Structure 1
Amino acid sequence: MDTMTMEQARGRTGTGNGGKTGRKTVRGKDPEAVAREQFEAWMQRIMERFDRQDKIISVLINKDAAGVKYMDGERLYDNQDLCEMLRTSKRSLQRFRSEYGLRYRKISRKSYYKESDVLEFISRNMEEVVQDGEKVLKMKDEAKRKPDKAKRKGGGKRVAVHR
C-alpha cells in the first residue's frame, strides 16, 4: 500500500472513467446520501437507547414514568389506591389509621401508605372470606385496636382517662 493512496485503496481511483469524479453509487444514490441515511439511522437508535435509559433512571430515583411513587425502594399507595385495593371508603381508611394503627406518611398534605405497612396491617387485622362467591377482605372479629389515649364522651369531646 505504499504507492497507493487511501482513495485508490477504497476503489475511488478516479482514473480511466472518462473524467468523472470516481464516486461510486449505491442503488443510484450518492455516497453522501447513503452516509447521511446511515448517520440518521444510528442517531435514531442512539436516541431510543437514551429514552430507555431515561426510563430506567426515573425508576431508580423514585419517579416512575407511570406515576407510581416509591420511598426507600418501596412502593407507596395513596388513599385512592388503597380504597380500590381494599374495596373500602376513605372514612374506613381514617378509622384503620386511628383505631387499628395503620401506618401512613403525609407528603404534601396527602396520605401515603408503604406497601410493607399495608401488608402487615392486612395480615394482622383482616381475613379473607367468601361473600357472594367472591373472595373479599373483612376485619377479623378479634382485630387488635390501638389502645386509646383518651376516651370519647358525648359530643365528640375528648376527656383524658385517669388511671
Structure 2
Amino acid sequence: MYIDNENFEKWMEKLSKKLTEIGQDLKSLINTDNILDENEKLLDNQDLAFLLKVSYRTLQRYRAKNILPHFLIGRKVYYRASDIRAFVRENADFQTYKQFEKANQLENHL
C-alpha cells in the first residue's frame, strides 16, 4: 500500500494530537495519592446513577448547577464518596437520608 506525503502528514497530525491528549490524561493522574485519602472511594456516573437511582441526565443537571461536586480524569467524570454523602445529607430530609444510609451502608462502603 502506497501512502503519499499528504496522507502521511494527516495521519501523523492525528497521531500527534492523540498522543498529546494521552499525555494530558497522564498528567492529571500524577500525584493522585496526595489528592485522595487512602480510604476515599471514587464513583463514576454509572455507579452514582445506580446508587442514587437517577438518570445520567439528572447527574449532569446537578453538575451544571454546581450542587454535585465532581472532577474529571481525562474525559470521565468521578465523584468522591464523601462528597456524595454530604450531597445526600444536604438535599434529602432526615428520614430519607437515614433510609438511604441504611440501604447503602454508607459508613462501611463509601
**TM score, norm. by length of structure 1:** 0.35
1:99 CA drift (Å): 2.0
Q: Does 1:72 align with 2:37?
A: yes
Distance in 2, matches of 1:116 and 1:107, equals 18
After superposition, the C-alpha distances for 1:96-152 in whole angstroms (9 at most, x for unaligned) are 1122521001012100000111011100012318xxxxx67xxxxxxxxxxxxxxxx
The unaligned stretches of length 5 or more in structure 1 are 1-60, 63-70, 130-134, 137-163
State the shift of 1:72 in Å. Answer: 2.8
Confirm whether residue 114 of structure 1 aligns to residue 84 of structure 2: no
- Between the aligned partners of 2:89 and 2:66, the Cα distance in structure 1 is 12
Greater Cα radius of gyration, structure 1 or 2: 1
Moved more, 93-102 or 77-86: 93-102
Question: Counterpart of 1:88 in 2: which secondary structure?
Answer: coil
2:62 alignment counterpart: 96
Higher relative contact order (CA closer than 8 Å, sequence separation 6+): 2
Within 1, Cα distance between the matches of 2:87 and 2:60?
Answer: 13
Paired residues for 1:19-34 under 5 Å: none
Larger helix fraction of residues: 2
Structure 2 gap ranges (5+) = 1-31, 101-110
CA change 1:123–1:100 in 2 (3 A) is farther
Gap change, CA 1:110 and 1:85, over 3 Å in 2:
same
| Distance in 2 separating the partners of 1:125 and 1:100 | 13
Partner secondary structure for residue 101 of structure 1: coil
- Count of residues in correspondence between the two structures: 65
Q: Indicate whether 1:82 and 2:48 are aligned.
A: yes
SS of the residue 2:78 aligns to: strand
- Counterpart-to-counterpart distance in 2, 1:123 and 1:79: 19
Percentage of identical aligned residues: 40
Query: CA RMSD of the aligned region, Å?
Result: 2.7
Query: What TM-score, normalized to structure 2?
Result: 0.50
Distance 1:100 1:109, change over 3 A: closer
Q: Aligned partner of 1:89: which letter?
A: S
